[in-house]
Amino acid sequence: MVSAPPKAPAARPELTRLQIWLFAFPALPGAFIILPMNIFIPAFYASHTAVTLVQIGTVTSLCRVIDALMDPAIGFMSDSLDNRRGGRGIWGVASAIICCIALYFLFQPSAHTTVLYYGTWAFVLYLGYSLFEIPRNAWSAELGSRPSMRTRINAAVGLFTVAGSLIFWLVPVILFRVYGTTGFTQKTLSIIVWLYMALMVPAALCIMHFIPGGPPGRATAPTWRDLVHSLKRNRPLALYFLAIGLWATGQGIWLSTTYLFLNDYLRVGSAFPFIMIVFFLSTIVAIPLWARSERRLERHGIWAISIVLTAATRPLALLLTPGMQNLPVILLLTALGGALSAPTNFAPAAILGDVVDYDIWKTWTNKSGIIYALNTLITKTTLAIGGGAGFIILGWVHYHAGRMNHGLPLTGLLSCYTVLCSIPQLIATAIIFRFPIGRRAHTLIRHRLHGR
């Protein structure tokens, strides 16, 4: 039985530009976690410790799957915590404390570090990040009731995420005169840990104090029966989860092989920070341009076009010959990739916000926290499957990280980086292009929700 609909939330002033930027700012230090864990730290452990590629792939996948299975509990608790006790903002403070501890140990491995050490602190870090990510995403859906405001909020979060990723790669460049290298060492990783501590804790406290909580008429916490009810009746939610899962699987394969492709095959590992700087600078420039295109295109169309263009340009990297002499062309292709993939930083979250509104309309129960938790669970699990698969495939073909590879091992790397990663993502576009909730549908949903 569906309960009686709750009263429409009272109108309230929208977030100011300053509040939007303040709400989005924690994504900057948060990028110090998610970026290196997806693209750098596993390869760093494989090259600098006794942990093997197969061990890293297996343990990383296991840690992320276990962490992801805990995300629904975080979503339920986030939905049920009363606003008078800090609401969703208090989770950011807890996350900052846990992540500070985990980063300190995970970013300081020794040459004799074991897979148990890596797995323990990787799991703690994943869990700590979930405490920040899930409530923040649900909060953003509550703060942005209009599609345009939701896009602005998620675009700001995306910009700060990319800016944090950019800063991560700038750190060793800035410290070149101090440490004599632009590569990542124990000392540069230590600086990143302290920078995270200095930025994340104050930011989490600020948004808890200055950003309004959820709507005063927000429904009580949902039950597991409510969740099952939504999964049965909410077709757009099922389609979204299928699409994001396919996309994340391919992304996991690509991320896990990026550093190895650039360092081992193209032999430009010493310029890796510069390559990442170019990638994220181009993404920062492209995000506002892609966001403006929403005036003419549907958000799901923007995301799908981005995926197709990104997949089409990846094989261009195979035309390059190894060596620093091709660095300018590598940087050009990197800038192109960063610009084309920019919508993935804001479009999926904004689309899911529309799906949450549809779910509230269908069930009259606000499950934004648990829905975003399920989104995180699916994304983490499929990223882990993709990332683990990338390393496991390389292990099967006897690929050796940090060395020159030929024959089957090299073919395995090139295939993962340019082709295999794109297959599930292109399948996802068939779903995304035909997504049922567009601009007109969401306007109708909002009118019915607010009784207009």
The distance of Cα 132 from the centroid of its chain, to the nearest Å, equals 12
pLDDT tier at 10, thresholds 50, 70, 90: very low
Residue 450's pLDDT is 66
- What does the pLDDT look like over 347-386, one tens digit per residue? 998 899 888 888 888 777 777 777 887 887 888 789 888 9
What pLDDT score does 155 carry?
Answer: 85
When pLDDT is averaged across residues 226-237 and rounded to a whole number, the result is: 75
Burial of residue 150 (number of CB atoms within 10 Å: 0-12, 13-18, 19+): buried
Q: How confident is the model at residue 451 (pLDDT cuts 50, 70, 90)?
A: low
Please provide the CATH number assigned to the domain covering 25-449: 1.20.1250.20
State residue 136's pLDDT score.
85
Is residue 419's pLDDT more than 90?
yes
Q: Write down the pLDDT at residue 146.
A: 67
> How confident is the model over 129-164, as pLDDT tens digits?
888 888 888 888 777 666 677 778 888 888 898 888
- Is the pLDDT confidence value at 428 over 90? yes
Contact 153, 26 (CB under 8 A): no
Query: Which secondary structure element, helix H or strand E, spans residue 104, and what is its range?
Result: helix 89-106
pLDDT band at 11 (very low <50, low <70, confident <90, very high): very low
pLDDT for position 329: 94
pTM over 0.85: no
Instruction: For residue 380, give the H/E element and its range.
Output: helix 368-396
Q: Hey, what amino acid is at 107?
A: F
Say whether 11 sits in a helix, a strand or coil: coil
Provide the pLDDT for residue 7.
Answer: 46
Average pLDDT on 203-224 reads 67
Lowest mean per-residue pLDDT among 15-24, 255-264, 397-406 = 397-406
DSSP string, 262-287: IIIIS--GGGHHHHHHHHHHHHHHHH
* Helix 89-106, helix 115-143: angle, nearest 10: 160
Q: Answer yes or no: are the C-beta atoms of 44 and 256 closer than 8 Å.
A: no
- Residue located via tokens 């919508």: 343
pLDDT of residue 388: 83
DSSP, res 3: P
Tell me what pLDDT residue 50 has: 82
Most confident stretch, 202-206, 256-260, 340-344, 358-362: 340-344
